[in-house]
């Protein structure tokens, strides 16, 4: 069975789906997107993702293409038509189709919407086998990383550099030597003093939905943490490090730039937070 995509009001076989060559997403990366994990037929952190989509659209002055309830119906229908119970759903909204010009097109151009889905493995059950290696890499992105823009060329180059070095993620370092985030993830450490830390939200990082959900889970569980930036040097001295994202959940990093993090094994804090987030995914997938 061919995968089914939603493109600008129509459900169609994905092999036949296409967008106009003058779609501004194609020509200017003038659009935003979201990736949502599906677990046992439920959208994990659905409301967080929809709220972030609305925020990103507002920041770049693209109208919501439809009411939230209507968009949720489309997402649900794409998953249903593809019979996906465990997978990843991708949704993208661009400014629409117009004659190529840098300025916004005149009124009347409708935002363009694409939704696709694919099957993935279910939630990992063994944290010791859910680990990864990372590299450090210069942060060469634009100044509004808080917007989930489709303009991801610097992220692509960073991830490719990681792949070529046998790693899963590139940890981005800004010009001041401070860690921002992963190329497609939020980054956390347990520092040399045993404090759990992740960078505070600003325009240098994406407000991760999984990051936000984990913070809420940690607060409910009484886990102490700091939202405070840390340097590349502090990263090198960390006892533990892990990533969060819709595709990685909580993923321990056991090696950075060829050197072990801590003792090179999953630490106690990462293990605890993996278990806490697993309970969130299993029982609270649609939490706001």
Report, as residue numbers or ranges, the catalytic residues.
148
Non-local (6+) Cβ contacts of 190 within 8 A are 196, 197, 238, 239, 240, 241, 262, 267, 269, 270
Determine which helix (DSSP H) or strand (DSSP E) holds 119, and give its type and residue range: strand 112-119
Exposure string for 254-266, b = 16+ CB within 10 A, e = fewer: bbbeeeebbeeeb
Phi and psi torsions of 169, nearest 5°:
-145, 150
90 bridge partner residues: 35, 116
* CA 24 to mean position of chain CA atoms: 22
DSSP 8-state class, residue 97? B
List, edge to edge, every strand of the sheet that includes 112-119: 10-13, 4-7, 112-119, 87-94, 31-39, 42-43
In this structure, the number of other CB atoms found within 10 A of the CB of residue 236 comes to 13
Q: How many CB atoms lie within 10 A of CB 140?
A: 13
For residues 262 and 269, the answer to whether their CB atoms sit within 8 Å is no
The secondary structure of residue 184, as a DSSP letter, is: S
Q: Which residue has the tokens 């590299």?
A: 135
């Amino acid at each position: 069975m061919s995968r089914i995509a939603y493109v600008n009001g129509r459900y169609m076989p994905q092999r036949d789906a296409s967008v106009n060559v003058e779609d501004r997403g194609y020509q200017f990366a003038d659009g935003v997107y979201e990736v949502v994990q599906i677990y046992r037929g439920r959208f994990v952190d659905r409301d967080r993702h929809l709220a972030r989509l609305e925020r990103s659209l507002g920041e770049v002055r693209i109208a919501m293409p439809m009411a939230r309830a209507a968009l949720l119906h489309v997402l649900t229908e794409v998953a249903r038509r593809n019979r996906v119970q465990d997978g990843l759903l991708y949704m993208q909204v661009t400014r629409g189709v117009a004659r190529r010009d840098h300025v916004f097109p005149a009124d009347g151009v409708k935002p363009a919407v694409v939704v696709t889905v694919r099957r993935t493995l279910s939630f990992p059950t063994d944290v010791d086998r859910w680990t990864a290696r990372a590299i450090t890499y210069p942060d060469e992105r634009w100044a509004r990383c808080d917007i989930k823009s489709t303009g991801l060329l610097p992220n692509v180059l960073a991830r490719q550099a990681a792949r070529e070095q046998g790693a899963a993620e590139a940890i981005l370092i800004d010009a001041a030597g401070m860690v921002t985030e992963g190329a497609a993830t939020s980054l956390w450490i347990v520092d040399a003093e045993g404090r759990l830390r992740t960078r505070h939200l600003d325009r240098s990082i994406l407000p991760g939905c999984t990051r936000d959900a984990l913070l809420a889970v940690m607060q409910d569980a009484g886990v102490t943490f700091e939202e405070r930036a840390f340097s590349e040097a502090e990263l090198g001295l960390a006892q533990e490090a892990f990533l969060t994202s819709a595709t990685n959940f909580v993923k321990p990093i056991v090696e950075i730039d060829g050197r072990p993090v801590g003792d090179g094994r999953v630490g106690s804090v990462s293990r605890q937070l993996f278990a806490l987030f697993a309970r969130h995914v299993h029982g609270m997938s649609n939490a706001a």
